């Protein structure tokens, strides 16, 4: 991978890390918030993601890779999974995930870790039987995405349930028309930050098929979006 793209990727991780930063004040405020019994049901950005996570409830060990602030881990634990491992390379993600896990009463089911990019390589083979990964491999260089996929395949047991969510596809031409910068005809930058790889459904299907058996490619929308264009790959390892 060229050095520029590698640096762009590192800057994007810094960007995510800043996104998850919480002040002591905000932490204390969140800890004191009253949480309704059903509030966790509103954490998913789309109902199809909420429903898809039910598929992982019966797994023995689920990995939420690139967990961000941990919304999926919390839903997965609430759906009934007793052991969720949530990891992210953005250090602040652990503070947020631990905090929300506590607030929603599922700390005993979620083990969150801030990890290095080498963490996956160090994990024993066949250690998980479920995987959730939302908006991770489509916001980074494809070389890194493929490295992650091959390691995920190794650490998943055979026939594990694999759920991969992704942003929608836009072409380089549309991205530029909308005012984004496009590099190498493949990567979209917003305000100088790498935010998306411009990979079509067909291309992702081809890439993911090297590692998993794709059972279904569904599409979904976030609240307020008119069309269901975001991608949801339901696979088996
Ligand atoms: C768009 S955010 C998605 C976060 C979360 N999964 C969600 O759906 O809200 C992308 C996340 O991937 C994480 N990430 C980037 N590179 C990673 C890597 N090599 N291993 C694990 N996580 C990574 C970022 O730190 C960031 O939290």
Examine residue 191 and state whether it is found in any structural domain, yes or no.
no
Q: Is the CB of 45 under 6 A from ligand 1?
A: no
* Strand ranges in 24-123 using DSSP code E only, listed in sequence order: 62-65, 84-88, 110-114
Best probe residue, ligand 1, of 1, 88, 168 (max atoms within 8 Å of C-beta): 88
CA of 96 to the centre of ligand 1 (A): 13
Give the span between the Cα atoms of 178 and 104, in whole angstroms: 39
Phi, psi of 126 (to 5 degrees): 55, 45
Report in angstroms the alpha-carbon separations of 35 from 40, 42, 97, 162, 174. Answer: 9, 12, 16, 30, 42
Structure tokens at 219: 């599409």
Number of independent structural domains in the chain: 1
Sequence-distant (6+) residues with CB within 8 A of 216 are 233, 234
Give the span between the Cα atoms of 9 and 215, in whole angstroms: 30
Examine residue 137 and state whether it is found in any structural domain, yes or no.
yes
Residue 228 pairs with which residues in a beta bridge?
Answer: none
Looking at residue 211, which CATH number applies to its domain? Answer: 3.40.50.150
Residue 156 pairs with which residues in a beta bridge?
Answer: 128
Examine residue 163 and state whether it is found in any structural domain, yes or no.
no
Examine residue 192 and state whether it is found in any structural domain, yes or no.
no
What is 195-208 written as a DSSP string?
Answer: EEE---HHHHHHHH
For the stretch 9-23, pLDDT in tens is: 999 999 999 999 999
Please report the pLDDT score of residue 33 as a whole number: 86
Examine residue 29 and state whether it is found in any structural domain, yes or no.
no
For the stretch 46-79, pLDDT in tens is: 999 999 999 999 999 999 999 999 999 999 999 9
Sequence-distant (6+) residues with CB within 8 A of 23 are none
For the stretch 150-198, pLDDT in tens is: 999 999 999 999 999 999 999 999 999 999 999 999 999 999 999 999 9
Domain that holds residue 219: 3-21+39-151+169-183+197-236
Structure tokens at 229: 């264009």
CA of 99 to the centre of ligand 1 (A): 18
Examine residue 173 and state whether it is found in any structural domain, yes or no.
yes
């Amino acid at each position: 991978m060229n050095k520029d793209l590698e640096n762009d990727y590192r800057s994007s991780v810094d960007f995510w890390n800043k996104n998850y930063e919480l002040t002591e004040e905000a932490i204390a405020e969140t800890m004191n918030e009253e949480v309704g019994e059903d509030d966790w049901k509103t954490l998913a950005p789309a109902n199809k993601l909420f429903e898809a996570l039910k598929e992982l409830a019966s797994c023995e060990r689920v990995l939420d890779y690139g967990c961000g602030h941990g919304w999926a881990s919390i839903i997965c634990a609430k759906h009934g999974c007793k052991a969720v491992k949530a990891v992210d390379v953005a250090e602040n993600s652990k503070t947020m995930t631990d905090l929300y896990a506590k607030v929603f009463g599922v700390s005993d089911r979620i083990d969150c870790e801030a990890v290095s990019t080498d963490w996956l390589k160090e994990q024993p083979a066949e250690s998980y039987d479920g995987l959730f990964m939302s908006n991770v491999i489509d916001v980074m260089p494809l070389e890194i995405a493929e490295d992650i996929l091959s390691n995920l395949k190794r650490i998943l047991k055979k026939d594990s349930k694999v759920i991969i969510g992704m942003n929608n596809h836009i072409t380089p031409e549309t991205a530029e028309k909308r005012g984004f910068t496009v590099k190498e005809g493949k990567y979209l930058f917003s305000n100088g930050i790498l935010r998306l790889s411009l990979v079509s459904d067909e291309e992702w299907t081809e890439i993911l098929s090297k590692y998993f058996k794709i059972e279904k490619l569904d599409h979904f929308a976030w609240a307020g979006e008119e069309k269901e264009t975001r991608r949801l790959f339901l696979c088996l390892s």
